[in-house]
Structure 1
Amino acid sequence: MPTTSLTVLKFDSPDGAEEALEVIEDLNQRQLITLHDAAIVSWPEDKKKPKTRQLSSLTGAGALTGAFWGLLFGLIFLIPFFGLALGAAMGALAGSMADVGISDDFIKSVRNKVTKGTSALFLMTSGAVQDKVVEAMKDMDFELIASNLSKEQEEKLREAFADD
């Protein structure tokens, strides 16, 4: 069974993640990637906080619950606004997230890069036909922020999407 990975792609516009999700959904339909779940964070320039949306049309063994996405987005976007007591509780939760490859570095990286005027696409996928995915995504302008892939897998992915 292929390994499932959580990947975060950042876009320099509030609607970039939405457009990329359409490409990924098409690849999923064509069986070139298995999309287990996805969520989008969009942060319009004129808003104080980002808007989040889970792709609710997916169900099945790989799909995550709203609680997972809520916890992840809470860890990423709300910690700076809470007091220390809640910060400690969130720290304990963050420790349990590390078990699924979501480290403090992962959380900090997303928090520092997904800011006003940007968007991010959070993907839970497996079985990607990498050359086909790279081909479909090559014209999209994004940054791979974080992934729980192995270092080697992540480096290959970064190389594939590096600017020529």
Structure 2
Amino acid sequence: MAELFVIGYDDPDVAEQAFATVQELQRDYVVHLNGLAVVAVDDEGRTHVDTSSRIVGVSAASGALWGAIFGILFLVPGVGLLTGAALGGIVGKLSKSGVDDRFRQQVGDLLRPGTAAVVIMASKVTDDKFTTAMRRHGGTVLKTSLSDEDEQELAEQLAGPQEP
């Protein structure tokens, strides 16, 4: 099961510190990352993304899944504006699996001009150690889960039809 965390911070510098802490937790095997990013909104309302190219163990399928979830959370303004059956199917599946409009709205509420969030997708988290390490940064935590089946089905949808 993959866990999706979005931790919002009023200060982008604190978000960067939290991002570094998550990377340390990955090295210490407290968390196994499928994706990690800092999303900052500047004073003009533009979104800026910083991802780590040093995340170990991210497969192409989980990378594609991470990209789809990330895009739907931050870059797609509303499900009603989506076009294309494939993207619509992915959004529908995400809505059933925990990344629904309510969660997206909560993420949107966290990210106002001048704020930032750390976005974490993890297949394993040692909750007590993770919580203890992250507590020093504060922030507002949002969390949802994707079952293994949902994650696999989404990865397959993203990969498209395969030739025999």
* TM-score scaled by length of structure 1: 0.70
Counterpart check, 1:96 vs 2:93: yes
Equivalent residue, structure 2, for 1:124: 121
The Cα of 1:23 is off from its aligned counterpart by: 0.8
User: What does 1:62-141 align with in structure 2 at a 5 Å threshold?
Assistant: 64-65=62-63, 68-80=65-77, 86-87=81-82, 93-141=90-138
Deviations 1:21-64 (A, max 9, x none): 1111112211222223212201122x331101232222535573
Equivalent residue, structure 1, for 2:28: 30
The 3 A distance-change label for structure 1 pair 138 and 59 is closer
The Cα of 1:77 is off from its aligned counterpart by: 3.8
Equivalent residue, structure 1, for 2:155: none
CA distance in 1, matches of 2:145, 2:67: 18
- Does the 8 A contact of 1:97 with 1:103 survive in 2? yes
- Partner letter of residue 113 of structure 1? L
CA distance in 2, matches of 1:91, 1:112: 23
The Cα of 1:11 is off from its aligned counterpart by: 0.8
The 3 A distance-change label for structure 1 pair 54 and 68 is farther
SS class of match (2:45) = coil
The Cα of 1:130 is off from its aligned counterpart by: 2.2
Counterpart check, 1:44 vs 2:75: no
CA distance in 2, matches of 1:60, 1:43: 29
Percentage of identical aligned residues: 29
Deviations 1:93-117 (A, max 9, x none): 4213225431111111111221111
Deviations 1:58-82 (A, max 9, x none): 25355733x54554444334444x8
Equivalent residue, structure 2, for 1:57: 54
- Does the 8 A contact of 1:39 with 1:123 survive in 2? yes
Equivalent residue, structure 2, for 1:16: 14
CA distance in 1, matches of 2:75, 2:125: 32
- Does the 8 A contact of 2:45 with 2:112 survive in 1? no
* TM-score scaled by length of structure 2: 0.70
- Does the 8 A contact of 1:94 with 1:104 survive in 2? no
The alignment yields a C-alpha RMSD, in angstroms, of 2.9
